[in-house]
Amino acid sequence: MARVLIADTLAKEGIEMLSRVHDVEVRTGLTEDQLCEAVADIDALVVRSATQVTARVIDAAGHLEVIARAGVGVDNIDVAAATFRGIIVVNAPLANTLSTAEHAFGLMLALARNLPQGHASLQAGRWDRNKYMGIELAGKTLGVVGLGRIGTEVANRARAFQMRIVAFDPYVSPERAAALGVEMMDLDGVLAESDFVTLHAVLHEGTRNLINAERLAKAKKGIRIINAARGALIDEQALFDAVQSGQVAGAGIDVFSEEPAVGNILTTSEKIVVTPHLAASTIEAQDRAAIDVAEQVLDVLAGKSARFAVNAPLVDPEAMAVIGPYLAAAELAASLAAQLAPGAVERVRLELLGEIGTREMRPLRTAVISGLLARSSDAKVTAVNADQLAEQHGIKIEHEGGPAREPYANLVVVQIPRPDGVRTVAATHTPSGVRVVGIDDYTVDIVPGAAPYALMVENVDRPGMIGHVGSMLGERGVNISYMSVASGSADRALMVLGVNRPMTTAELAELSALDNVFSARQIDFS
């Protein structure tokens, strides 16, 4: 049973799902210091937008496997720090699609018909029918900046209001735009053509202050701007100035560059309708977000792929069903190969023979990196940081698939080149578990769990060698739990002995010095 910390308010459906399987603690309103202390022994952290998951918090979490954001953005999570630590970050990108689209459209209607101003006026005891003359949406042009899930839903609703729709999104194909009934143009064209513009772009350095003074000056006079995406998409001072001058007729703003936005300049104009980041604040959206992240936390803690991992590749469940049993074989083969080729590993060749070579290779590649680094790094290797850690340690991995090699349906072969030759380990999965079936040019049959250590003695292939080596081990109180002998070329043989304790360097040297023994090496399975 894993430990899960929920650090922000989460819908009860999500809490109940997690509590049925794991030990769940809900602690909200924690300071950074308190959160650092709270995450020390947890396996999963669930937050919304209030809790800041900084690099310091992540470094304090010794067992953390997954950070879940019950919402769309992950601005409050240091994803780079999580990636470096091998922690999967997941979110719920679909949960608030409809809620945000409806809120954006609500802001558009509020702007068009001066709804907040009329409400405030009447509550203040005035009947200002003439003061708040509005406009219709029908026949107007709506510009959509960012034609993703939310932007598409807004466009669908705009068509029902008989609006013409233009859009800017460099990643949308002409075919998709045509299917949506949308005219694509560049951003300046959208701003010049539109009566209303709604923003649904992703925030990154290329879109920060996307709507600025220069672009507003070139926009259609009297344009109205809606933002329910990210506050930093707009230069807020520039928008305020454009509203004051009349270049922009009004704005509907739900998100701000800094929140809480009490005192923000955009909240001081009667022509700007403002809401306190309410776009995703519906019962339905919060329920969906809680359920989506709970499902993903359960999947990650069960060793499965997350549906919406921000920093990890998604692996098709059908492919994982095929390759999953061979992950342990890949890690074991890499670990043994690294032990048999001591020193820094620079190049590795990975062969995946059989059906596993036709499927997604990244999970098997991750397992190989984990095996290679098992004894040289304290870092936890996951699908999130495997390539980064391999690069950090100067390891280049080549991999390819190939046909099955009899008698194995699937085989994982790891090769590490050395000046004196290539060290090769082959492993597979059988109904009885993982087995090592090849070491260099020898065919072997080694069950890792049968003994914590194994001795590999390469010797002249002649009678009496087994007794010779066995006698020496017996004199030193070493128990032999199993033995596998394989013949090779040029009258050589490999003797693999499962033993109960590690051999010292002196003992290995003594074994290597025996008559007709070429080498004695040790493998640690522990």
- Which residues are annotated as catalytic? 230, 259, 277
Largest CA distance in the chain: 111
20 burial via Cβ count (<10 Å: 0-12, 13-18, 19+): exposed
Q: Taking the CB of residue 319, how many other CB atoms lie within 10 A of it?
A: 18
The kind and range of the H/E element at 189 are helix 187-193
By CB atoms closer than 10 A (0-12, 13-18, 19+), residue 466 is middle
CB atoms within 10 A of CB 478: 18
How far apart CA 29 and CA 106 sit, in angstroms, is 31
Q: At what angle do helices 149-160 and 97-113 cross, to 10 degrees?
A: 50
- H/E element, 495: strand 492-499
Phi/psi for 423 (5° steps) reads -90, 125
**Helix 97-113 and helix 115-123, axial crossing angle in degrees, nearest 10:** 60
CB contact set of 245 (below 8 Å; sequence gap of 6+): none
Question: If you ran DSSP here, which 8-state letter would residue 205 be given?
Answer: T
DSSP strands (E only) in 326-420: 347-354, 396-402, 410-418
